[in-house]
Structure 1
Amino acid sequence: MLWSLAGDVRLLLTLPAALTMQVAHPAVGAGVDDHSVFRTDPWGRGERSLTSLQLWVYGGEGAAAEGRRLRQLHKTIQGTDAHGRKYHALTPAYYAWVHATGFPVFRNAQRYLGRPFTEAQERQLYAEWLQVGRILGIHDRDMPQSVEEFWPYYQKVLDNELEETVVVRELVARDPVLPVPDRGPRWLRVFLRLTWPWLCPRFARFRRFLTIGLMPQEARCAIGLEWTDAEERRLRRFGRVVRAVVPVLPERLRFLPVARRARQAARG
């Protein structure tokens, strides 16, 4: 299932929700607050994270190397969270939570952006997500090994750990200060520099809308994020458009570059 899901352009719409759930954990939020370049280089950081995720699924032998690189990168990430508690990025419970968020976000977003998963598909997706976790160095003992075991674990983290951290507030801010994107061809960079004062607040509102909307309801409640009935109706209308348009796109537009190359190679 991940062979199709993880490379689909709709993945881009779901990542902010997963990231926000991750940094709602005080230890993870503190690590990002203290060590990440998400404020100074959000576009580069996002591009690197997306490429890494793609390698987990489509990287072949390179997937394991990427997993080792990530663990090495996180070895030096440590400090004290907002409650005065020591944290280390590779503490099994924290590292596992970051990975675990992908499953409920995939599941929830699919209700809007695709066809809801069947029970059998949910089980398969979770099994594949566990396999990806092993690539990242997450031990089986640190992740629930079945869907039935996952939901009590997930609810326990929501009930006892998550909160509206400083980084959460920044990610869902209505008026964030975002640097002009510096990726893409020259003509695009010039266009963005000229139009960014107009585009930035609109992009920020759209990002906030998708971040909160595609997050599972129980996670929104645990973090304390508001979501209205009117916003829910807007998200459902947006989802209907996405479901109609994306499946008929040609492969070069529907799949992200790493996934597209892997799919072409698999066909020989």
Structure 2
Amino acid sequence: MARELADLNAEVILLAGAGRAILLQLADPGVGRGVAEHSTFTDRPINRLKGTLTYVYAVTYGTDEQVKEVRRRVNRAHVPVRRDADHETPGYNAYDPELQLWVTATLYDTALVIIEKIYGPLDDESADAMYRDYAKLGTALQLPPDMWPKDREAFGRYYDARMAGLRASDAAIRVGRGLLYPRHAALWYRAIMPFARFLTAGLLPDQLRNDFGLPWSGRHERRFHRTMKALAVAYPKLPQRLRHWFKNYCLSELDTFSRRAGRVSA
């Protein structure tokens, strides 16, 4: 499928994979402990998701000033997320390039899964371009360029090795369950969560689906496949202004913030 790269990473349908990417990240022991001890994720899930996607959009599509702004935001948020190892648990540090590699890998793999379910397999040129583009998400922070697997084949080996032993800790499960079953979120957010949980469960591997307590059966599996087939028919027919609206919204809001802060000219 020949498709411009911008038509891939700007697609709002990628939000369907948000839960999958987040739970994969939490299943890493360092990420899980850091989020559990320092994040307000479960109290402000929409703000956290919006912040992550604003970073993704700015690095992928933004101006130099937009990239500088989102880097400032992420690095500022990462400052307190660290803990020295002790006799009970290993330490963690949000600036750790290994953790940033894993977070970037989950974003890339999830985006690829969603895009190929909606549009079908990518041709090699589009797939390679998308892969290179996602490398920027990590290297814009503390991930050295040579740590990002050199090509998609190398990435597959890295990702399969990480997934083979990945299991969610108790701390990760608490955060994940708080996100999946919000108690204090807005009514509209709680209303969409049953469908979001269903999509997340369908996109997760069995071991993590079980770890996070997401029910699944043959009936769920059949419904999931029907849902994805329906989305693959209906979603591409939407006008681009709807398919790309969230990217445009996030970048516009970032520009507004920068003007008010005096970082760009009006």
TM-score > 0.5 by shorter chain = yes
Unaligned runs of 5+ in 2: 253-266
Q: Is the contact between residue 58 and residue 259 of structure 1 (CA under 8 Å) also seen in structure 2?
A: no
Structure number with higher relative contact order (C-alpha < 8 Å, ≥ 6 residues apart): 2
Residue 240 of structure 1 corresponds to 229
Q: Is the contact between residue 55 and residue 70 of structure 2 (CA under 8 Å) also seen in structure 1?
A: yes
How far apart, CA to CA, are the structure 2 residues paired with 1:171 and 1:4? Answer: 30
Residue 116 of structure 1 corresponds to 121
Residue 6 of structure 1 corresponds to 9
How far apart, CA to CA, are the structure 2 residues paired with 1:175 and 1:13? Answer: 14
Q: Is the contact between residue 14 and residue 115 of structure 2 (CA under 8 Å) also seen in structure 1?
A: no
Alignment of 1:117-266 (within 5 A): 117-168=122-173, 170-172=175-177, 176-181=181-186, 192=187, 200=190, 203-215=192-204, 217=205, 220-221=206-207, 224-225=210-211, 227-259=216-248
How far apart, CA to CA, are the structure 2 residues paired with 1:5 and 1:54? Answer: 12
Shift of 1:81: 8.3
Residue 30 of structure 2 corresponds to 27
How many residues of Structure 1 are paired with residues of Structure 2 in the alignment?
244
How far apart, CA to CA, are the structure 2 residues paired with 1:224 and 1:17? Answer: 13
Q: Is the contact between residue 79 and residue 88 of structure 1 (CA under 8 Å) also seen in structure 2?
A: yes
How far apart, CA to CA, are the structure 2 residues paired with 1:112 and 1:20? Answer: 20
1:78 matched to 2:64: no
1:59 matched to 2:62: yes
Residue 184 of structure 1 corresponds to none
Shift of 1:99: 0.9
Q: Is the contact between residue 56 and residue 64 of structure 1 (CA under 8 Å) also seen in structure 2?
A: no
Residue 92 of structure 1 corresponds to 97
Q: Is the contact between residue 54 and residue 258 of structure 1 (CA under 8 Å) also seen in structure 2?
A: yes
Shift of 1:96: 1.2
Which residue identity does 1:58 align to in structure 2?
Answer: Y
Q: Per-residue displacement from partner, 1:119-156 (whole Å, max 9, x unpaired)?
A: 44332221221233322342123221111211121122
Judged with a 3 Å threshold, the aligned counterparts in structure 2 of structure 1 residues 243 and 116 are, in CA distance, closer, same or farther, namely: same
How far apart, CA to CA, are the structure 2 residues paired with 1:175 and 1:144? Answer: 31
Q: Is the contact between residue 30 and residue 81 of structure 1 (CA under 8 Å) also seen in structure 2?
A: no
How far apart, CA to CA, are the structure 2 residues paired with 1:223 and 1:164? Answer: 13
TM-align CA RMSD: 3.0
Shift of 1:71: 2.6
Instruction: Please report the TM-score for the alignment, with normalisation by the length of structure 2.
Output: 0.78
Judged with a 3 Å threshold, the aligned counterparts in structure 2 of structure 1 residues 60 and 149 are, in CA distance, closer, same or farther, namely: same
Residue 106 of structure 1 corresponds to 111
Secondary structure (helix, strand or coil) at the match of 1:101 reads helix
Judged with a 3 Å threshold, the aligned counterparts in structure 2 of structure 1 residues 256 and 168 are, in CA distance, closer, same or farther, namely: farther
Secondary structure (helix, strand or coil) at the match of 1:213 reads helix
Instruction: Please report the TM-score for the alignment, with normalisation by the length of structure 1.
Output: 0.78
Q: Is the contact between residue 212 and residue 227 of structure 1 (CA under 8 Å) also seen in structure 2?
A: yes
Unaligned runs of 5+ in 1: 182-191, 264-268
Which residue identity does 2:99 align to in structure 1?
Answer: Y
Q: How many percent identity over aligned positions? A: 25
Residue 263 of structure 2 corresponds to none
